[in-house]
Structure 1
């Protein structure tokens, strides 16, 4: 596979490094690229204990962009589970649906732990999420062990190591829960900030230390700077009828003045002619 890719590419170097690190399966997750495509991985995760997915083994695809790790992967579940829709890119703050929350320091292992940690959480209408009943999810968890992937040929009962009891499993489960909590928190903070940005501005409290004259000046300034509903700053609409009436009066006055001037000129001219004849 190495000869097919540009070994100087940051994405290729990163993926080959991660493939080496994830080569050996564990008792709770495993992932490897396809033999003919370094940018498509198949993964298997064990359902988190003490949840509706306990005992389930779930298989899926991770499709990575050429810009990885600067851009996030897309995650697709192939095993029916009742939490994520099968065959559809799921919406997580660590997936391609939310590049704004992705961090290049995250990895495929991070994505696997995030899937485990997010499985018991509520879908809340996210893209690719499902809200099956606990009974349905437990039935699917039991059935998932018989799933076999047609793409990579993996059988779920043979992919992961036997489940261990003790600190190793507890540590992995706690890591997945903590990762899901941190990612959800970061994403929630970002959304709340965006929401607060669109909230209307609250009125400013009155300053009781201002004198009455200062308050009147401030109110007049606010009225002048206020805007109309269409966004045009605050001039009141002029009364067109008043404007038209004033223009008519002005025209009449100017006409009379001009007529008086002409009449005076004619009168003076006639008086001059009369004096000359005498």
Structure 2
């Protein structure tokens, strides 16, 4: 449970970021838990240019006296998905944390570090080709997750309305272009089922 100091600080930061968004960064607290923030990062340098990377900041109830943990969920080829990252502004290094830093500071630091060749605990080495492929698939991957859809409903709706395709776990495709096909398939199936039932009844009687 957040302390009053922590809650007030995070509320102020949310207001600040809402009024003055940072380039390539969207962040907002979970409505059910102000200590858990979700963010979207866009990285301006290749091979990540087309990517939309979803992650979380998990704050201790003593924030801003102690730093948050930093997690990136979206597969990127840069970091291990859904693992805490070892950064100078994360909970791996409380000794280097500055209470004057903020949500925006942490995310700008992550955005900058992302583009660098530096490695850390939680980073991985993959080819630029693989990273580019994952960037192109990133929004589709994000949209499979219920939490992402609830936190970033506008981004999800825009993605679908623009013809984005979401590959769900059983490899069925869900998107704007094929919703009518799904309903058509259900209708045809019902017609064949009804015809089958009528044939059975005719044979019996």
Alignment TM class, shorter chain as reference? 0.5 to 0.7
Pick from 13, 18, 23 the counterpart of residue 8 of structure 2.
Answer: 13
Q: Deviations over 1:64-116 (max 9, x none)?
A: 00111111100111101111110110111111111111111111001111111
**Distance between the aligned counterparts of 2:112 and 2:153, measured in 1?**
20
Q: Is the 8 A contact 2:69 2:85 kept in 1?
A: yes
Partner of 2:31: 35
Q: Deviations over 1:181-218 (max 9, x none)?
A: xxxxxxxxxxxxxxxxxxxxxxxxxxxxxxxxxxxxxx
Q: 1:61 and 2:56 equivalent? A: yes
Partner of 1:219: none
Q: 1:158 and 2:158 equivalent? A: no
Q: Is the 8 A contact 1:145 1:156 kept in 2?
A: no
Pick from 58, 61, 67 the counterpart of residue 72 of structure 1.
Answer: 67
**Distance between the aligned counterparts of 1:67 and 1:119, measured in 2?**
27
Aligned partner of residue 52 in structure 1, secondary structure: coil
Q: Is the 8 A contact 1:77 1:88 kept in 2?
A: yes
**Distance between the aligned counterparts of 2:59 and 2:24, measured in 1?**
22
**Distance between the aligned counterparts of 1:96 and 1:54, measured in 2?**
28
**Distance between the aligned counterparts of 1:127 and 1:64, measured in 2?**
19
Partner of 1:138: 132
User: Does the C-alpha gap of structure 1 residues 18 and 158 become closer, same or farther in structure 2, counting only changes over 3 Å?
Assistant: same
**Distance between the aligned counterparts of 1:157 and 1:145, measured in 2?**
13
Q: Is the 8 A contact 2:53 2:73 kept in 1?
A: yes
Runs of 4+, deviation exceeding 4 Å: 24-27, 154-157
Pick from 98, 104, 107 the counterpart of residue 109 of structure 1.
Answer: 104
Q: Once structures 1 and 2 are overlaid, which stretch shifts more, 84-93 or 22-31?
A: 22-31
Partner of 2:172: none
Q: Answer 1 or 2: which has greater strand percent.
A: 2
Pick from 80, 91, 97 the counterpart of residue 96 of structure 1.
Answer: 91
The count of corresponding residues between Structure 1 and Structure 2 is: 153
What RMSD over aligned residues (CA atoms) do the two structures have, in Å?
2.3
- Normalising by structure 1, report the TM-score: 0.51
Runs of 5+ in structure 2 lacking a partner? 159-205
Q: 1:84 and 2:95 equivalent? A: no
- Normalising by structure 2, report the TM-score: 0.68
Pick from 123, 129, 136 the counterpart of residue 129 of structure 1.
Answer: 123
Aligned partner of residue 106 in structure 2, secondary structure: helix
Aligned partner of residue 40 in structure 1, secondary structure: strand
